[in-house]
Amino acid sequence: MLDLKFIRENPQSVKEGIAKKGEVDRVDEVLNLDTKRREIIQRVEVLKGRRNTVSAEVGKLKREGKDAGAIIAEIDGVKNQIKQYDDELSQIETDLNKLLLTIPNIPHPDVPVGKTPEDNKEVSRWGEIVENDFEMKQHWDLVQKLDIIDFERGVKVTGAGFPIYKEKGAKLQRALINFFLDEAATRGYKEIQPPLMINTASATGTGQLPDKEDLMYTIPRDEFFMVPTAEVPVTNIFRDEILSEQQLPIKFCAYTPCFRREAGSYGKDVRGLNRLHQFDKVELVKFVHPEKSYDELESLREDAERLLQLLGLPYRVLLMCTGDMGFTQTKKYDLEVWAPAQKRWLEVSSISNFESFQARRMNIRYKPTGGGKPEIIHTLNGSGLALPRVVAALLEQYQTPEGKVIVPKALHKYTGFEVIG
């Protein structure tokens, strides 16, 4: 959520930011309600002043033994007016808060302006893309031959997008999760095991509501949502709390399954592990001082990139354009790993700075060391990493002419085996 004062003082900048993201501009509606709210507050203050003055006159008249009936009637009238204004003000503030939730975050000046993925900017690449001299199998064919992932029975048990991992496939999943968590610990992240269901306040706090409700699985009876990412429960840990400046930065890592409806997904992009409704992911979350959030964004990116380097998987870094960035972010990088059999890039991590946007929704503040009023912190998060496409790229990258898969050295102590096949 943007600061109302910022919108009031910088309406044109906010409008331009909304246009760059391709979102609906409701700034004028916000300003109109804000003007009404401030006018009513002024009227109420005048009435309260009159009420206090008249109340004092009543006391004086009573002490003098004079009739105070007319003045008491005036006080009653003033009280009724104040009550009407208070009711109107309450409704306006409710409507204003709902409107503020529809205003997106404003892009950082470094973010390229654009509307489609083609407008994203490639920042860097790592690793060498090698052309093998044998016919490579795409991962959905490879896992069937190796009998390590069962897509068909997953459809029978639940539906499309819910694969069953078997034997070395299941062990590979567990190995990657432990590897990602252990590496995060070496970078100063504290491990969290959060709930897998969230309430409406949590989903609103991180921006899933009202923007992404259709993408989440709901549990209507209990008014819960299944976690679309560990970002949501972990970032909400400090909701409505005041931290001390000395605590910052706070860095958490968390593994959870993630549940996403992915409504409207179809075509070649959803084959195999490319797009699932349930998948495993390790998330990295930071709570930081506002002055350091962009330095923390770059270090967060390095933490995620390091995992791909240790696995020996070629990847590229994209700086996402304004129209492909998302509702809540000010700046966002995507890491895309190369899948050699598919001959395409697969997103495995999004690394984002939200500045104060999420923290203001959640009322997470810090108390400055030098004193003064508590201030809103900045939040960041990134995938470290999402497993399905990492697995897809790993299987395709490390397959042999015989149809086996060599396990990267970094995973040997976690898998207990060096070859799948």
Token pair for 161? 């997008």
Catalytic pick among 23, 29, 93, 347: 347
Concerning whether 301 is annotated as a catalytic residue, the answer is no
- HSE of 257, CA atoms in CB hemisphere, 13 A: 11
Catalytic pick among 293, 349, 350, 383: 350
Concerning whether 350 is annotated as a catalytic residue, the answer is yes
Concerning whether 153 is annotated as a catalytic residue, the answer is no
What distance, in Å, lies between the first and last C-alpha atoms of the chain?
51
What is the C-alpha separation between 126 and 317, in angstroms, rounded?
9
Concerning whether 389 is annotated as a catalytic residue, the answer is yes
243 Cβ neighbours under 8 A, 6+ residues apart: 250, 287, 364, 365, 366, 367, 377
- Which of these, 260, 243, 271, lies nearest to 342 by C-alpha position? 271
What is the C-alpha separation between 288 and 290, in angstroms, rounded?
6
What is the C-alpha separation between 343 and 338, in angstroms, rounded?
7
Catalytic pick among 183, 231, 275, 349: 275
What is the C-alpha separation between 60 and 304, in angstroms, rounded?
73
Token pair for 313? 């998987």
Concerning whether 347 is annotated as a catalytic residue, the answer is yes
Catalytic pick among 301, 361, 365, 389: 389
Contact 355, 253 (CB under 8 A): no
Catalytic pick among 183, 202, 231, 260: 260
Please identify every residue annotated as catalytic: 260, 275, 347, 350, 389
